[in-house]
A = this chain, B = another copy of it.
Amino acid sequence: MRSPLAHVVIIGGGFAGIAAARGLANQRVSVTIIDRHNFHTFQPLLYQVATAGLEPADIAYPIRTIFGHQKNIRFRHGTVRSVDQERKVVLLSDQREVAFDYLIVATGTVASFFAIPGAREFALPLYTLADARRLRNRLLLSLEAAEVEGLHQRPRLNFVVVGGGPTGVETSGALSELIRIAIRRDGLSLRTDEVRIILADVAPRLLTAFPERASTYAKKELESMNVEVALRRGVVEVLEHSIKFDNGEELDTAAVVWAAGVTVNGTVAQALAPTSGPSGRAIVDGDLRLHGSAHVWVVGDAAAVPSGRGDLCAQLAPVAIQSGRHCAEQVLNVIGGRPTTAFMYHNKGIMATIGRNAAVAKLPRGGVITGILGWLAWLGLHLWYLVGFRNRLRVVINWTWRYFDWPSGPRLIVADVVSDD
């Protein structure tokens, strides 16, 4: 039963895909969102799930529920294998096809391992909820193992975070807090000086997207939390239980967190755009249509989104949201026979949190806020953007608990891989 309305298929339920669908809600189009997960993930807080500050359900929201009352939006749970632009169909891994009149590709990014030997096999990226659970289990299990080891000899736990961007900075700060809480609250006999957290990056400073003042501040804050910041330090190889740096150092590791960079989420974007821009992103025109295509848009991290000022946007959540929203308008323009308009990015600034009471924000005009003020701004903004009132309520509860160091917190090791019969 094909509806007489134009059918818009959106691949990906991240920030860009959800924003696009919202822009099409209650319009005279029929929309299908396809995602291999049945939920939208609030990626900026994944590192808090990984460091046992938040629960998966706090930062994820079922896509069906987001659009439960929008009769023109449907959800299709599945993995996209490729796109046939000629026949206008999306091919799923279950061999079924979904026909479209217009297609919005919002497939986002995955970790880039830069062909560093062992990185893909042994380092832990942090881009999906399953990644976050896996990393959390590894961190907590290594604390338990160190506790047992401590009965026999002096334990030594090294955690290495590769990548000094926001994800790396936030993860190493949160990891330091997790360990402090585990020792203070959970009665681990491990001592603080038996744990090293090393944040390594090849760049000469942290947070290169921010002004230098923010980098200096972040480094100082992290060091006060016992995070060792190793700059101009490249990774040569990752092994199962160790890492090799380009200064010749080799270190035993309990976990290597990979926050070094991203590349586009392969299959789909590649099928659409053999010629691609920086980091493999699809080249799109000013109206965000895939270059050379009349019916396909690419938005969010998967696209080399033009800012409207002659340069390209960075791969950021606000860009994903704004480009998703813009492309929905353009689809409606095309359907209505109106001319499309060019995307123009409204810079809202960028921010990264380092720990309790510490964050940095870069304002649209280049100014920098640091310290507790930046942290409060970070809190407010992240709560505001979380989908669903209940999720916000739960995140507030969890953050309050952790802030005041009250007992408990979701420090559970619930893995399918752990024996559980």
Binding site for B on A (CB under 8 A): 36-39, 55-57, 60-62, 64-65, 67-71, 73-79, 94, 96, 110, 128-131, 133-134, 140-141, 144, 147-148, 182, 185-189, 388, 390-391, 393-394, 397, 401, 406-421
Contact = CB atoms under 8 A, between A and B. Distances in A.
A230 to B, nearest CB: 28
Contact of A408 (B130, B144, B388): B388
A416 B413 contact: no
Given A397-B394, A413-B37, A76 B134 contact: no
Of listed A141, A391, A419, residue having the most chain B CB within 10 A: A419
Contact of A185 (B36, B55, B65, B414): B65
Contacts of A75: 187
A61 B414 CA distance: 11
B148 A57 contact: no
A148 B407 contact: no
B65 A186 contact: yes
B408 A65 contact: yes
A418 B75 CA distance: 18
B397 A187 contact: no
Given A140-B38, A391-B408, A417 B414 contact: no
9 contacts: A36-B419, A37-B418, A37-B420, A38-B140, A60-B414, A77-B148, A130-B415, A130-B416, A390-B401
A123 to B, nearest CB: 13
A77 B188 CA distance: 12
A409 B65 contact: yes
B65 A407 contact: yes
A68 B186 contact: yes
A391 to B, nearest CB: 7
B413 A39 contact: yes
A185 B411 contact: no
Contacts of A130: 414-416, 418, 420
B185 A129 contact: no
B148 A188 contact: no
Contacts of A74: 187, 189
B148 A413 contact: no
Contact of A412 (B56, B69, B388, B397): B56
B414 A388 contact: no
Nearest to A128: B420
Given A37-B420, A390-B408, 7 more contacts: A38-B144, A60-B412, A61-B408, A75-B187, A77-B141, A128-B420, A416-B416
Contacts of A420: 36-37, 128-131
A64 B188 contact: yes
Contacts of A418: 36-37, 130
Nearest to A67: B187
Nearest to A413: B38
B64 A412 contact: no
B408 A397 contact: no
A76 to B, nearest CB: 7
B416 A390 contact: no
Of listed A55, A134, A140, A408, residue having the most chain B CB within 10 A: A408
A140 to B, nearest CB: 7
A134 B417 CA distance: 12
A104 B62 CA distance: 44
